[in-house]
């Protein structure tokens, strides 16, 4: 039975990278491993923040264009496959929950809310990252054949429908303009956080003015939305 804390909510879906987990250094390691094989220059953390959000293939292509621009035909695909192979073998060397996020997820679960993940990350790598993280997700899906990547709303709608029959009792949390557009196109209430791969200033430049800087602020925003009651300590 649900507690009064979550009496109006059925499910909360989250983006993975930059929202639940700080995965930046593992992505960067995989990208730079591939770049080094072609004698490319190293991508910085700020570079990688700019590249991510629309899938690993696009991130690698962006990195190659800036750090190894003289690729021959077919080499970009080889570089992507090398990066993905490295990442699959090193999926969570540095990946960690952002501060307060694990507690927020536990509170939702304790209140009877179903929680899930909708990500543009390779599905196999996603499941390697969340395995053993201490939180049991009711749904988790990354990039899969036949399902278009965000900001196409198909993956989010599929996830929402699997967790709750009522989309007005489902919400989505992400950290980027891609996530904001996905939620808008899906018609699902969406909150954006600024602790991840996009700064508050970058999000504002993309037209996203209201963001949460920490898990406590996110919880309180959800509360004010009418979904929850109560507060969460920082």
pLDDT, one tens digit per residue, over 214-231 is 999 998 887 677 555 444
Three-state secondary structure call for residue 137: coil
Determine the topology of domain 24-89 in CATH. DNA polymerase; domain 1 (1.10.150)
Cβ–Cβ contacts within 10 Å for residue 205, how many?
A: 11
Q: Say yes or no: do domains 4-23+97-224 and 24-89 share a fold.
A: no
Rounded mean pLDDT of 174-194? 97
For the domain covering 4-23+97-224, report its CATH number: 3.40.50.1000
Mean residue pLDDT across the chain: 92
Record the tokens describing residue 75, joined without a space: 């080499």
In this predicted structure, what is the pLDDT of residue 176? 96
Residue 104 clears pLDDT 70, i.e. is over it? yes
In this predicted structure, what is the pLDDT of residue 221? 81
pLDDT range class, residue 167, cuts 50, 70, 90? confident
In this predicted structure, what is the pLDDT of residue 227? 54
DSSP 113-129: -EEEEEEEEEHHHHHHH
Rounded mean pLDDT of 164-193? 94
Where exactly are the structural domains of the chain? 4-23+97-224, 24-89
pLDDT, one tens digit per residue, over 46-75 is 999 999 999 999 999 999 999 998 899 899
């Amino acid at each position: 039975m649900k507690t009064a804390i979550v009496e109006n909510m059925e499910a909360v879906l989250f983006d993975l990278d930059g929202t639940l987990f700080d995965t930046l250094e593992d992505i960067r390691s995989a990208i730079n491993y591939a770049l080094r094989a072609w004698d490319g220059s190293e991508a910085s953390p700020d570079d990688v923040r700019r590249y991510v959000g629309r899938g690993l293939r696009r991130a690698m292509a962006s990195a190659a264009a800036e750090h190894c621009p003289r690729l021959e035909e077919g080499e970009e695909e080889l570089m992507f496959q090398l990066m993905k192979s490295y990442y699959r073998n090193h999926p969570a060397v540095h990946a960690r929950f952002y501060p307060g996020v694990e507690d927020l997820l536990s509170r939702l679960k304790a209140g009877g809310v179903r929680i899930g993940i909708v990500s543009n990350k390779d599905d196999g790598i996603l499941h390697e990252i969340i395995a053993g993280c201490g939180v049991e997700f009711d749904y988790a899906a990354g990039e899969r054949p036949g399902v278009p990547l965000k900001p196409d709303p198909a993956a989010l709608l599929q996830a929402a429908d699997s967790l709750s029959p009522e989309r007005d009792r489902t919400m989505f949390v992400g950290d980027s303009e891609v996530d904001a557009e996905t939620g808008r196109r899906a018609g699902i209430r969406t909150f954006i956080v600024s602790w991840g791969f996009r700064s508050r200033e970058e999000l504002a430049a993309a037209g996203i003015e209201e963001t949460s800087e920490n898990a406590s602020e996110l919880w309180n925003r959800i509360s004010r939305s009418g979904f929850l009651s109560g507060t969460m300590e920082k």
